Amino acid sequence: MGIAKNIEAFAIYQDYTENAEAFIKKLSDSLNADFIVNTYDVDYKPLHKKDKLTAYSKPNKYRLSICYFGNDMPVYELLLPINYEYEDNIELVFYPNKSVHIMFLTFENLWDGFIKTLKFENFYEDRQQSIERYENLRNEYVHIFNKIGINSIFIVTHAFYKIEDLVNDKTYPTLTFSDISKIAKEMDNLTSFDLEKILRTEKSSEICKDFLAKPSLNIAFIDNLNTKGGSKMKQQLNKAYKIHLQPTPHSASGVAF
Read off the DSSP letter of residue 109. Answer: S
Read off the DSSP letter of residue 162. Answer: G
pLDDT beyond 60 at 254? no
> How far is Cα of residue 33 from the mean position of the Cα atoms in its chain?
19
Separation CA 76–CA 68 (nearest Å) = 9
The one-letter code for the residue type at 48 is H
Separation CA 17–CA 146 (nearest Å) = 19
Answer for the pair 99, 91: CB distance below 8 angstroms, yes or no: no
Number of H helices, E strands in the chain: 7, 10
Burial-class residue 65 by CB neighbours within 10 Å (0-12, 13-18, 19+). Answer: buried
Contacts of 128 (CB under 8 A, 6+ apart): 233
Q: pLDDT grade, residue 255 (50/70/90)?
A: low
Mean pLDDT of 77-99: 96
Predicted structure pTM score: 0.87
Q: pLDDT grade, residue 256 (50/70/90)?
A: low
How close are the terminal C-alpha atoms of the chain, in Å? Answer: 32
Give residue limits of the domains in the chain.
7-240
How far CA 128 is from CA of 72, 117, 231, in Å, comes to 48, 9, 12
